[in-house]
Amino acid sequence: MSDSYRFRENFAMKALIVDDEADMRLILQTVMRARGYEVNVCVSAEDAWEMYQKEYFPLVILDWLLPGIDGLQLCQKMRTLPHGDLSVILMVTGKKRPEDLQQVLQAGADDYLAKPVDLQMMNVRLSIAEQQVKNLLKRKMAEEERQKTYEDMLSILNQLRIGTAMTDEEGRVTFLSQAAESLLGRQKEEAVGKPWKLLFKLQEEEDKKFQQMFDLPSKNGEKLPINIEKERGQKYWIEVEVREDPRSTKRKILHFYDVTEIADLRRLLDEKSQFESLVGKSDPMKVLYQKIQDVASVDATVLVEGETGTGKELVARAIHSVSHRKAKPFIAVNCAGLTESLLASQLFGHKKGAFTGAVQDQQGLFEAANGGTLFLDEIGDIPMLVQTHLLRVLQEKEIVRLGESKPRKIDVRVVAATHRNLAEEVEKGTFRQDLLYRIRVARINIPSLRERKEDIPLLVGSFLSQSRASIGKKVHEFSNDALRLLMAHNWPGNVRELKNTIERAIILSDTNLIDKANIIGGEDKPYTSELEKI
């Protein structure tokens, strides 16, 4: 019987009876058929063995004393077959000594029927056996489903442009996708069974960081850049992400992203064309880079203003990254849409029992960001009561958890952001004037994309490289018509809208070139009016 034989619930009503006594066979057959079984009968172990090798029987009833091979020996042979563990075997015997019953169990039988057979007891034993059969088949079908899912996953991983490797509990490679073979310059045959470190050569510092990623629980989005040198001196950059295998936390899944083009692009750009994660070399962006450096050198509260989609969080992260706080936490929270109590609890923390659902003491984000930077996005949406608490925090450098009275000292730099005109909100009475003065000690305004359209080709190149790797398409460039269309659009959604447009165009493209049809494609066609103007 093939290992890939698919067992199903309806096979549970087939039984094999092996007994050389005609009267006993008749009793067993009668009882089994009355219970709805399809019954096969053999008078010798040799005949039963030949039949069992070809066909699966969920329930087998064996007489111990048979001519030739006895029931114990037949039971042992049955258990050696791939489907042998999926049968429930009952041994029929007149031997009742404890040592005899121990022999029955050691041979691999699941239960026994004592002679002379008591029909009531026999039906009880058969009911138990039937439940065992159902449990065995359910486990088998679940295993087959898991195996199919695993095989489907491997098939999908092989089709992705992202390289993938999998390891066992000992850190040995068990799978290497075709994309990973290409990226790493390693054949699957030479990698499987070897320690994962042999996949690439690591510098000492890289090795330490990689080992930490491998040993500690996975963190979303954490990637380690590694410089790889192939044969003939070809060098390129990959980013490695380590994930835990859902089947076991000790097994790992490694993803490899080719970021060579992004690295090359960064080297080719003028040193002022990129600052941290911000891209652009227009005059407005040069002014922005200088402002970021200026405010980062002092510890004042900063208000970042700009339209939706301009990258306010990226600016906040840049301020943190070039400040003396860069080694400490950067925590971002979007204040929009949160209720007063939830936002207060999130920012300042709470004591157990402070409100319904507060089942334990909870540290707030101000405490979590201690020593670092807390980014309050959409600060204009904060409720008035929370504004009052926030003002005290900024003035006194201390917080009080909900439900407590004792203040806790903190050392946190606050960077706030909004797309609203807070001066107008003060006039409306929805934002405290004293809080506005406190958060606007330093002020940065991010230019809209329409104010720096000369940066669009740089942004397109950056987004194209990022999206190509994640989407898995070999799209290398934009046509002149497509770029002309992008330059003509007014971009009310700014950089975020541009990034989404690039991702959609890559998805719609069926060649390695993005044309204007890919830009205006889709159901909504947001750029049709702009196209008509060109």
Q: What is the pTM of this model?
A: 0.49
Q: Tell me how far apart the alpha carbons of residues 43 and 64 are, in angstroms, rounded to a whole number.
A: 12
Query: By C-alpha distance, which of 53, 57, 54 is closest to 90?
Result: 57
Q: Tell me how far apart the alpha carbons of residues 256 and 180 are, in angstroms, rounded to a whole number.
A: 7
509: helix, strand or coil: coil
pLDDT band for position 512 (cuts 50, 70, 90): confident
Residue 470: is its pLDDT beyond 80?
Answer: no
Residue 392: is its pLDDT beyond 70?
Answer: yes
Q: Tell me how far apart the alpha carbons of residues 214 and 171 are, in angstroms, rounded to a whole number.
A: 9
Residue 269: is its pLDDT beyond 50?
Answer: no
The token pair that represents 481 in the structure block:
């018509």
Residue 328: is its pLDDT beyond 60?
Answer: yes
Q: Report yes or no: 296 and 276 within 8 Å, Cβ to Cβ.
A: no
- Geometric angle at alpha carbon 369, from 363 and 373, rounded to 5°: 150
Mean pLDDT over all residues of the chain? Answer: 82
Contacts of 505 (CB under 8 A, 6+ apart): 482, 514, 518, 519, 521
Which amino acid is it at 43? V
For residue range 191-227, list pLDDT tens digits in order.
Answer: 888 888 888 777 777 778 778 777 776 665 577 777 7
Q: Report yes or no: 90 and 133 within 8 Å, Cβ to Cβ.
A: no
Instruction: Return the pLDDT at 106.
Output: 87
- Geometric angle at alpha carbon 426, from 422 and 429, rounded to 5°: 135
Query: By C-alpha distance, which of 168, 192, 170 is closest to 181?
Result: 192
Which amino acid is it at 148? K
For residue range 133-158, list pLDDT tens digits in order.
Answer: 888 777 777 777 766 665 665 565 55
Which of the 8 DSSP states describes residue 455? Answer: G
Q: DSSP labels for 283-328?
A: HHHHHHHHHHHHHHTS---EEEE--TTS-HHHHHHHHHHTSTTTTS
For residue range 4-55, list pLDDT tens digits in order.
Answer: 344 444 445 789 999 988 888 898 889 988 888 889 999 999 999 999 998 8
- Geometric angle at alpha carbon 311, from 306 and 317, rounded to 5°: 115
Instruction: Return the pLDDT at 528.
Output: 44
Cβ count within 10 A of residue 230: 13
Query: By C-alpha distance, which of 86, 82, 89 is closest to 104?
Result: 89
For residue range 304-320, list pLDDT tens digits in order.
Answer: 999 999 999 999 999 99
Q: Tell me how far apart the alpha carbons of residues 334 and 223 are, in angstroms, rounded to a whole number.
A: 24
Instruction: Return the pLDDT at 6.
Output: 41
Residue 453: exposure state from Cβ atoms within 10 A (0-12, 13-18, ≥19): middle
The token pair that represents 144 in the structure block:
């087959």
Strands 413-418 and 302-305, by their bridges, are parallel
Q: Tell me how far apart the alpha carbons of residues 418 and 424 are, in angstroms, rounded to a whole number.
A: 13
Q: Report yes or no: 62 and 92 within 8 Å, Cβ to Cβ.
A: yes
